Amino acid sequence: AQSVSQHNHHVILSEAASLELGCNYSYGGTVNLFWYVQYPGQHLQLLLKYFSGDPLVKGIKGFEAEFIKSKFSFNLRKPSVQWSDTAEYFCAVTPLTSGTYKYIFGTGTRLKVLA
Amino acid sequence: DTEVTQTPKHLVMGMTNKKSLKCEQHMGHRAMYWYKQKAKKPPELMFVYSYEKLSINESVPSRFSPECPNSSLLNLHLHALQPEDSALYLCASSQDSGGADTQYFGPGTRLTVL
- DSSP labels, B97-111: S-TTPPPEE---EEE
Q: In chain B, what residues touch A104 (CB-CB under 8 Å)?
A: 45
Q: In chain A, what residues touch B102 (CB-CB under 8 Å)?
A: 34, 46, 49
Q: In chain B, what residues touch A106 (CB-CB under 8 Å)?
A: 42
Q: Give the pLDDT band (50/70/90) at residue A89.
A: very high
Q: Which of B8-12, B73-77, B98-102 has the lowest mean pLDDT?
A: B98-102
Q: Output the pLDDT for position A62.
A: 96
What is the identity of the amino acid at B105?
A: F
* Out of A43, A102, A106, closest to residue B48 by CB: A102
Q: Output the pLDDT for position B86.
A: 97
Rounded Cα distance between A70 and A79, Å, is 24
- Judge: A100–B102 Cβ closer than 8 Å, yes or no: no
Nearest CA-CA distance, residue A37 and chain B, Å: 11
Q: Give the pLDDT band (50/70/90) at residue B25.
A: very high
A60 touches B at CB < 8 Å: no
- Judge: A44–B105 Cβ closer than 8 Å, yes or no: yes
- Judge: B99–A96 Cβ closer than 8 Å, yes or no: yes
- Judge: B43–A105 Cβ closer than 8 Å, yes or no: yes
Q: Output the pLDDT for position A67.
A: 94
Rounded Cα distance between A85 and A112, Å, is 8
Q: What's the pLDDT tens digit per position in A77-87?
A: 999 999 999 99
Rounded Cα distance between A84 and A42, Å, is 13
Give the count of Cβ contacts less than 8 A between chain A and B. Answer: 55
CB contact set of A5 (below 8 Å; sequence gap of 6+): A22, A23, A24, A25, A26, A106, A107
Nearest CA-CA distance, residue B103 and chain A, Å: 8
- What is the pLDDT averaged over residues B42-49? 93
Q: Output the pLDDT for position B113.
A: 95
- Judge: B42–A107 Cβ closer than 8 Å, yes or no: yes
What is the identity of the amino acid at B39?
A: A
Q: What's the pLDDT tens digit per position in A9-48?
A: 999 999 999 999 999 999 877 789 999 999 998 889 999 9
Rounded Cα distance between A73 and A24, Å, is 4
- Judge: B42–A105 Cβ closer than 8 Å, yes or no: yes
